Structure 1
């Protein structure tokens, strides 16, 4: 809403109410009143091309120490002040965590992970994972205070303008606390903007330069803590904070970790000296075909299959190596140059080698970084999307996107004895028409998925423009149904198994035993797909799922470690760009104002609708005494998932070692009767 519109509306309301009111008459006056509640932020000048920050000991310099470029623009503004060429906006995380403990209805929730233990063998929160428990064992002094904060970091960029505007890449760094319960964790109100990196270009290798203020604050929060008042216990304490991991897509994974995510050694888990990926001569790309038999059990029949896999390796006797520990990774990177100290020539030379690590990430400056089991997460959202697109484009034989091109068929003859035929997995024209018509006429419940009919081209018989969530829904729910009568049975079964794998991995409540089962299953599923599709189908994105069960077992449910909530948050920030000429400053002002409004809304009267009611933190619902207890616990929330979760907890207590398949059978047979037994209607007393 434009400021003039706010001024007019405020003035109109002020004239309507009694004259002894305290209401402001303009947007400017309102901002002055609320300024006392504004949390701190800093504007740090950076080199025009991101070589360094004019910060700390270098804050008085007027030129970059590396490239010699000027810090300020040649012209001053209307007030005579010099204008920086490249300002970085930094929002310290400490005061924002302090405000959580200063908010009555949130402070108590920050101890949820400690005061609400879950059943053994069940994971529904990051605190149930091995990484959290391992960190507590390594740092008992930190774990002894349950109010100390565990954080996750995400960095991602977005285009500030639409597809018809000029190219402008704006990058942000966000933090989120994991102390909160599942129904609050990862909500928009608890994702904190930490850095707005100036555009218009991707920071790429210079991302570590912009992260310096944040890393210094995280070190200080770890070593010294921050004196904080806990309103729920009415006492002061020294709040410390630790960064558990980062969350980002695969290109940003390389920018943050220092690992080369392209080429022969793109997989960050497979050891460099034992990589089995190879170059396809005709397709001119690296393939991860036949890289998964090593993950199978030693006596598995696929290990001796010399027909469907690589000719030069008829028998797979190797066993997948153990993953590198933090100390082993540190031995590889400790002597590598950091972005802050190295020259561009040194870094470029290391990166072109594509032999794994090419820099020492700034995160290694954190004292506890090498004790973490997971430092950088593989993003399930993008892996699932890329896997689905590769699969559906090949099945529908989409021009320029299918992996079954003539060059791929030439590579297939070189690599394998058995030749794949296109009619095994490629749909005919009439089959594609049936599939497209089915998707076009598909209807979903409100809020379940977007309108997929917009992604269907009935003329050219293809799918296009599918967003990440569209691919998520299609991959896990629709793919087996859509292809059941269109593909041969063996091919359909293999595709159904990979669909079920992603569905199991993305479950909100997990059993640890099932993750071990999935680790064995995914290797076999990928081998089945290798018997169907050509080697050009298997790039790094089709290989990475083999490591996802391990990350889930260690880190907990993927809902806390994927990009969906951060992508939604970035879309929210994008809508706040009011001044197209000042993208970063516009986002900064809007974000600071939203922080104030969210905090104030927590203290409004109960009958006033606010955003806080979406969090269910300040609203005391008036429940009907005649309403069954099962539904009173979840007033104002979608009750279906809550009831299903209660049933799963009920079954898990009775049968702690029940598999996922048996749990589904129990659900189909017993849920309706269980729900009927839970509901007790009370007769109204006249």
Structure 2
């Protein structure tokens, strides 16, 4: 533990480094940790002492600091009011042995936590997502881009009120520490909430405006670092960090990367070589060419009738490196940049969240199998799209009097078969905490599943759906759906065996070059 003047000198060094990094007279440590840290460095000494003092005599489980943090964590987790938390502190103070060190008021607890730097900062933003009122715009009253007022207008007095038009308060941006073991890094207590972006609508492509404070912090952590105290070694060190990648769904991928994930070139891997075409009757863009990722001698490449009537012998395109992407972006006029000094050299920049993909796939699959209105992908316009592409003409819609009928496909279920599927879901029982009660999610009246959450879709896709469809679909359809469920099951495992990697890469019968058959197959 740092003694006497050493604590003051160490805190002074931290503050001086913060002033140098900020390039201003206002120290970062003062802004983040409290305005009294520089003038009263004994607060840092007090914090270290609270981390070592037992809560009461002979207590080995809790210190004064750890007890306060754990209780405040419960308050935040279960949404306790300040009044109830204050009464709880008083009660526990009386229940514990005499001369215990537990804070007896909410003010004392907050004062202890504020020394840790666990505060937050509200930043006003333009309602049109043009700028954030920080740095050179800190004292501005109107947006310099669109001219919108920073504050709301009082309808009664027709004057400007002090209420800001927009404050960060809704959409979360979290950071995950990746130098922890895989079984710890995604735990809630190791995630850091860095931003809350205002709602009710997401900022879309203007998310750059709201990420500016985070990007500034990341640049500081990469270039300068911050002085951090190591309680285990009882010493300070310079902490640095690097942003490895982002984890998001596909629309957010476009917002963060700046690449358009809509239109004729929506694939960020194929880019200019994306196989796409416009379907006028269904008014959608159709993406094809998936067979180019198969091995060169794969039989699917030469089949015509089963696909779009053409053979596909093209090689799979290579994804652009970070340097190539940066070179292309240099010609663009970007007002707010997304790049960092090391970003172009990373092998992976953005990762798609498998839970989002899994949920979307399952909802589309169940919507199509159960023919749920608004969810099915096999409707009238979809059949007209097949006619436009001259594919599966036996599924083309036809007229019967004044009605239009759709021929049943191999995956079309009758009403009785739909009831069997829904009844199977109702009869399934899983261990406590494994998932939601599936039977409550099934509507026998409408023959559909409602209120599915991401984890429910995860369990249904990987475990329950293959069981529910065993007796109602043709064999080749069942096998295709089951193999897709097995694919999601394998990629969600903590470990992927080499033999499964080969199978998931569609080269189970071919060599790594896609041409040479493997021995024994």
TM-score (ref. length: structure 1) = 0.56
* C-alpha contact 1:309 1:416 (8 A) present in aligned 2: no
Alpha-carbon distance change, 233 to 27 in structure 1, aligned in 2, over 3 angstroms: closer
* C-alpha contact 2:125 2:166 (8 A) present in aligned 1: yes
Which residue is equivalent to 1:449?
A: 435
Which residue is equivalent to 2:419?
A: 433
Q: Deviations over 1:136-164 (max 9, x none)?
A: xxxxxxxxxxxxxxxxxxxxxxxxxxxxx
Alignment of 1:27 with 2:106, yes or no, is yes
1:459 to 438, 441, 445: 445
3-state secondary structure, aligned to 1:303: helix
* C-alpha contact 2:228 2:237 (8 A) present in aligned 1: yes
Q: Deviations over 1:391-445 (max 9, x none)?
A: 1211222233222223322332342454456241111111111111110121001
How far apart are 1:483 and its partner, in Å? 1.3
How far apart are 1:510 and its partner, in Å? 1.6
Q: Deviations over 1:149-197 (max 9, x none)?
A: xxxxxxxxxxxxxxxxxxxxx2121111101112321111111011122
3-state secondary structure, aligned to 2:185: coil
Q: State the alpha-carbon separation in 1 of the partners of residues 265 and 207 from structure 2.
A: 22
Alignment of 1:192 with 2:192, yes or no, is yes
Alignment of 1:363 with 2:338, yes or no, is yes
Tell me the C-alpha RMSD between the 2 structures. Answer: 2.8
Q: State the alpha-carbon separation in 1 of the partners of residues 94 and 486 from structure 2.
A: 62
Q: State the alpha-carbon separation in 2 of the partners of residues 175 and 208 from structure 1.
A: 16
Q: State the alpha-carbon separation in 2 of the partners of residues 523 and 269 from structure 1.
A: 25
Which residue is equivalent to 2:118?
A: 39
3-state secondary structure, aligned to 1:520: coil
Q: How does 1:115-134 map to 2 (within 5 A)?
A: none
Which residue is equivalent to 1:163?
A: none
Q: Deviations over 1:65-95 (max 9, x none)?
A: 11222334567xxxxx955433347xxxxxx
Which residue is equivalent to 1:245?
A: 245
1:60 to 126, 139, 146: 139
Which residue is equivalent to 2:331?
A: 335
Alpha-carbon distance change, 408 to 43 in structure 1, aligned in 2, over 3 angstroms: closer
Alignment of 1:300 with 2:298, yes or no, is yes
Which residue is equivalent to 1:497?
A: 483
How far apart are 1:496 and its partner, in Å? 1.2
Q: State the alpha-carbon separation in 2 of the partners of residues 26 and 37 from structure 1.
A: 18
Which residue is equivalent to 2:231?
A: 231
Q: How does 1:337-352 map to 2 (within 5 A)?
A: 337-340=333-336
Which residue is equivalent to 2:359?
A: 385
* C-alpha contact 1:293 1:523 (8 A) present in aligned 2: no
Q: State the alpha-carbon separation in 1 of the partners of residues 490 and 185 from structure 2.
A: 21
* C-alpha contact 1:295 1:523 (8 A) present in aligned 2: no
How far apart are 1:291 and its partner, in Å? 2.0
TM-score (ref. length: structure 2) = 0.73
Q: State the alpha-carbon separation in 1 of the partners of residues 328 and 165 from structure 2.
A: 37
3-state secondary structure, aligned to 1:254: helix
Alignment of 1:277 with 2:276, yes or no, is yes
Alignment of 1:6 with 2:4, yes or no, is no
3-state secondary structure, aligned to 1:465: coil
Q: State the alpha-carbon separation in 2 of the partners of residues 523 and 415 from structure 1.
A: 31
Q: State the alpha-carbon separation in 2 of the partners of residues 17 and 234 from structure 1.
A: 30
Alignment of 1:475 with 2:461, yes or no, is yes
Alpha-carbon distance change, 34 to 213 in structure 1, aligned in 2, over 3 angstroms: closer
Q: Deviations over 1:447-476 (max 9, x none)?
A: 211111122111222222211111111111
Which residue is equivalent to 2:67?
A: none
Alpha-carbon distance change, 38 to 235 in structure 1, aligned in 2, over 3 angstroms: closer
Which residue is equivalent to 2:346?
A: 372
Q: State the alpha-carbon separation in 2 of the partners of residues 391 and 72 from structure 1.
A: 47
How far apart are 1:9 and its partner, in Å? 4.1
How far apart are 1:215 and its partner, in Å? 0.7
Alignment of 1:49 with 2:148, yes or no, is no
Alpha-carbon distance change, 65 to 198 in structure 1, aligned in 2, over 3 angstroms: same
Which residue is equivalent to 2:167?
A: 87
Which residue is equivalent to 2:69?
A: none
Q: State the alpha-carbon separation in 2 of the partners of residues 417 and 64 from structure 1.
A: 54
Q: State the alpha-carbon separation in 1 of the partners of residues 446 and 489 from structure 2.
A: 30
Which is richer in helix? 1
Q: Deviations over 1:522-556 (max 9, x none)?
A: 999xxxxxxxxxxxxxxxxxxxxxxxxxxxxxxxx
Q: State the alpha-carbon separation in 1 of the partners of residues 200 and 509 from structure 2.
A: 42
* C-alpha contact 1:425 1:487 (8 A) present in aligned 2: yes
3-state secondary structure, aligned to 1:404: coil
Q: State the alpha-carbon separation in 1 of the partners of residues 224 and 92 from structure 2.
A: 49
How far apart are 1:253 and its partner, in Å? 1.5
How many residues matched?
A: 414
Alignment of 1:424 with 2:410, yes or no, is yes
* C-alpha contact 1:87 1:198 (8 A) present in aligned 2: yes
How far apart are 1:237 and its partner, in Å? 2.9
3-state secondary structure, aligned to 2:461: helix
Alpha-carbon distance change, 367 to 258 in structure 1, aligned in 2, over 3 angstroms: same
Q: State the alpha-carbon separation in 2 of the partners of residues 427 and 473 from structure 1.
A: 23
Which residue is equivalent to 2:178?
A: 178
Q: State the alpha-carbon separation in 2 of the partners of residues 441 and 407 from structure 1.
A: 35
Q: State the alpha-carbon separation in 2 of the partners of residues 262 and 294 from structure 1.
A: 21
Which residue is equivalent to 2:285?
A: 286
Q: State the alpha-carbon separation in 1 of the partners of residues 258 and 171 from structure 2.
A: 18
Alpha-carbon distance change, 408 to 50 in structure 1, aligned in 2, over 3 angstroms: closer
* Structure with more relative contact order (C-alpha pairs < 8 Å, separation 6 or more): 1
* C-alpha contact 2:122 2:167 (8 A) present in aligned 1: yes
Q: State the alpha-carbon separation in 2 of the partners of residues 401 and 17 from structure 1.
A: 57
Greater CA radius of gyration, 1 or 2? 2
Which residue is equivalent to 2:377?
A: 403
3-state secondary structure, aligned to 2:275: coil
Structure 1 alignment gaps of length 5 or more? 76-80, 90-169, 341-361, 525-686
How far apart are 1:11 and its partner, in Å? 4.3
* C-alpha contact 1:308 1:416 (8 A) present in aligned 2: no
Q: State the alpha-carbon separation in 1 of the partners of residues 321 and 97 from structure 2.
A: 69
2:313 to 293, 317, 321: 317
Q: State the alpha-carbon separation in 2 of the partners of residues 183 and 492 from structure 1.
A: 34
Q: State the alpha-carbon separation in 1 of the partners of residues 462 and 328 from structure 2.
A: 38
Alpha-carbon distance change, 376 to 417 in structure 1, aligned in 2, over 3 angstroms: closer
Which residue is equivalent to 1:640?
A: none
